[in-house]
Amino acid sequence: MCGIFGYVSKNKTRAIPVILDGLKRLEYRGYDSSGIAAVVSGRILCKKKSGRIHEVEKILNNTWDSQAAIGHTRWATHGAPTDRNAHPHFDCSKKIYLVHNGIIENFRELKDRLLKRGHKFQSDTDTEVVAHLVEDFAKNEGVSFEEAVRLALKSIVGTYAFVFIHADHPGKIIVARNSSPLLVGFTDNEKYVASDASAVLPYTRKVVYLQDGEFAILTHNDFRIATLDRKAVLRNEERIEWSEDMVRKNNFPHFMLKEIFEEPEAVSNAIRGRLVLKDGLAKLGGLELVQNDLRKINRLILTACGTAYLAALVGEYMLEEYSGIPVETEYASELRYKKHNLDLKTALLAVSQSGETADTLGALKEIKRKGLLTLGVVNSIGSSIARETKAGVYNHAGPEIGVASTKAFVSQVAVMALLTLFLGRQRDMSLNTGRKISDELTKIPDKIKSILAGAKQIKKIADKYYKYENFLYLGRKYNYPVALEGALKLKEISYIHAEGYGAGEMKHGPIAMIDKDFPSVVIAPSDGMYGKVVNNIQEIKARGGKVIVVATKGNKEIAKIADDVIYIPETIEMLTPMLSVVPLHLFAYYVGVLRGNDVDKPRNLAKSVTVE
């Protein structure tokens, strides 16, 4: 979950500012502490500090002349977020420095062995063990820096992305990857290493993605990739599609608000070129190779974590109603440890914005091992899940920098609607139904824009409620997952206790919490569940609870019983979540800001969960 960055150049003056800029672009991956190490005049100078990146920036010496440097921004796993546990870490000789994203599972065993051999440790982290391990191999085996790194990597059990530098090799960095994201960006005279593409966008769009079990040696004018068994790897370069402008706030105060306002574009990009309106079809090029396999499946498992899980849950409702395939949605963190009665007519669909989510990737590999068809819905091209699955669909939502996912959710739901069309029209979905869904999908971006135009009204409602400490979110059928998503966003951004429930479950426990100080947000569009949800609202009001209702435009009756109403345009029932979630995203954002929180970097969270 941490962000790592490395740089080597022919120019000796650029390293420190480039690393610092890269870390700022990666800060959303973790912000407990940060640090930079650079090779300067035959030795390595290092500065690191707990807290946000500006804390280490204060103590940096920008006069350092260095052609190779590494940096890290941390989300703590082993060891508290203190100065001593901040990366980079180093060996006894202070010649070998490294940064790491991942977890070393056998670090205690390795540390005990190294302590017996006289090594002295400075931190409580698992990472530091690797620096000493490289030193130990170089010293006792008499091997080169490169070989010592290779031997150390072969001794490790766990997940990692590493960047190493050595005082005696000022123009070289070594990088390695196993189940944690890592890419190499390059120009003729500079090489960059980063956890994701956003960090290298100002410098290059030419990248190579490392794969598991590979390491690479980088100099300013060359790089070589090999496996840990010394087999050379040839890898074609790829071009990043995103522009640098996509990872800037532009005129918005926060990335989160910018990305909420990009939700119409996220849906447009997800469906662009993928609808055949006259035939009511979805054309998904990423699934064409397996479309005959998909005709044969009689069960589909959707798996994901966090917000992606909730988008998948919306997809379950869509797919079961319109494709005729039994569908179940599983938390990836649980799926990999459950026993399933699987057969080869079952397929797995993994959903992940980053394509690197550790639990989702683990569940995918477990199901793939059993020989089942595996599919993916991801936003990041070249990501681990994209490579591990046999086929899939890219979101094309662009980079999402805010830690709390917003536009990725609506994009994922849009892809779920496309998948429903694709599978449904293979089976019993009629031409008319296909046309109706596809036609309505094209209207969703403009309908989201109309909701965003009313953002000031939603801010006024947030002004009214931001001091409350508890919220209940309720929805039914397609909007049950939206209730969960609304509650999750409020928790993440405002640190208010919020629970999402299926509205029908309210009487089975949560109603005990309702009083004048426990407001509810109820999603009540004018659909087949409306009458039942209105009954739930009446039950809350009868107990003195305040109610904010998300309702369909034109419904004047709901204003007679609700304390506040947010209106959304009408659409077909299965597509309502892409509209009803937008005011909940805005509400969470405004409440978080009013409470004085850093909404782009909420406490204890990181954007991409790459450790289990």
Instruction: Give the active site residues.
Output: 2, 607
Structure tokens at 47: 């500065």
The angle formed by the CA atoms of residues 607, 181 and 57, to the nearest 5 degrees, is 60
CA terminus-to-terminus distance, the chain: 10
Adjacent-strand bridge partners of 103? 159
- Name the pairing type of β-strands 373-378 and 391-394: parallel
Residue type for position 175: V
For residue 394, give the 3-state DSSP assignment.
strand
pLDDT digits (tens, 9 = 90+) for 478-530: 999 999 999 999 999 999 999 999 988 888 988 888 999 999 999 999 999 99
Query: How far is it, in rounded angstroms, from Cα 33 to Cα 546?
Result: 41
176-228 pLDDT tens trace: 999 888 999 999 899 999 998 888 988 999 999 999 999 999 999 999 999 99
3-state secondary structure of 251: coil
Of 63, 135, 62, 67, give the one whose Cα is nearest residue 98.
Answer: 135
In contact, 395 and 380? CB cutoff 8 Å: no
Average pLDDT over residues 69-75: 90
Summarised one tens digit per residue, pLDDT across range 224-233 is 999 999 999 9
- Length of the chain equals 612
Q: Are strands 470-475 and 520-524 parallel, antiparallel or unpaired?
A: parallel
- In DSSP terms, which residues pair with 8 in a beta bridge? 68, 191
Averaged pLDDT, 41-62:
88
Q: With 60 as the cut, is the pLDDT of residue 300 above it?
A: yes
For 520-552, letters b (16+ CB in 10 Å) and e give bbbbbbbbebbeebbebbeebbeeebbbbbbbb
What's the whole-model pTM score? Answer: 0.79
Residue-wise pLDDT for 53-68, tens only, equals: 889 888 887 667 889 9
Q: Give the C-alpha separation, 440 to 418, whole Å.
A: 12
Beta pairing class for 33-40 and 68-74 = antiparallel
Answer whether residue 84 shows pLDDT above 70. Answer: yes
- Give the span between the Cα atoms of 172 and 81, in whole angstroms: 29
> What does the block give as tokens for 63?
């006069």
Contact 19, 57 (CB under 8 A): no
pLDDT tens readout for residues 143-163: 999 999 999 999 999 889 999
DSSP single-letter state for residue 230: -
Q: Which two tokens stand for residue 133?
A: 């391990």
**Least trusted range by pLDDT, from 8-17, 42-51, 272-281:** 8-17
Q: How far apart are CA 165 and CA 161, in angstroms?
A: 14
Asked if the domains at 249-451 and 454-600 fall in one CATH topology, the answer is yes
Q: Provide CATH code, domain 3-246.
A: 3.60.20.10
Name the amino acid, one letter, at 410: V
DSSP 179: B
Element (H, E) at 425: helix 407-426
Reported as a single tens digit per residue, the pLDDT across 226-255 is 999 999 999 988 888 766 666 678 889 999
Q: Is the dihedral of CA 432, 433, 436, 442 positive or negative?
A: negative
Cis peptide bond N-terminal to 326, omega within 30: no
**Backbone conformation region of residue 458, classed left if phi is above 0, alpha if psi is from -120 to 50, else beta:** alpha
Query: Do the Cβ atoms of 68 and 165 come closer than 8 Å?
Result: yes
What percentage of the chain reaches a pLDDT higher than 90? 75
| Second CATH level (architecture) for the domain 454-600 | 3-Layer(aba) Sandwich (3.40)
Kindly list the domain boundaries of the chain, sorted by start residue. 3-246, 249-451, 454-600
**Other Cβ atoms within 10 Å of 95 Cβ, number:** 21
Exposed, middle or buried: residue 321 (CB in 10 Å: 0-12, 13-18, 19+)?
Answer: middle
Q: Tally DSSP H helices, then E strands, for the chain.
A: 18, 27
Please tell me the distance from the alpha carbon of residue 173 to that of residue 71, in angstroms, as a whole number.
12
599, two tokens: 């909404």
Q: Are 30 and 606 in contact (CB under 8 A)?
A: yes
> What is the model's pLDDT at position 140?
84
Place of tokens 């396999």: 293
Residue 171 burial (CB count, 10 A):
15
State the amino acid at position 321 in one-letter form.
Answer: E
pLDDT of residue 608: 59
> Hey, is 193 helix, strand or coil?
strand
Classify residue 300 by burial, with Cβ atoms within 10 Å: 0-12, 13-18, 19+: buried
Cα(397)–Cα(136) distance, integer angstroms: 46
389-447 pLDDT, tens digit per residue, is 999 999 988 888 888 999 999 999 999 999 999 999 999 999 999 999 999 999 999 99
Please give the structure tokens belonging to residue 214: 């590979």
Tokens of 518: 């426990």
Give SS3 for 107: helix
Mean pLDDT of the chain: 92
Are 247 and 399 in contact, with CB atoms under 8 Å apart? yes
Specify whether domain 249-451 bears CATH 3.40.50.300: no
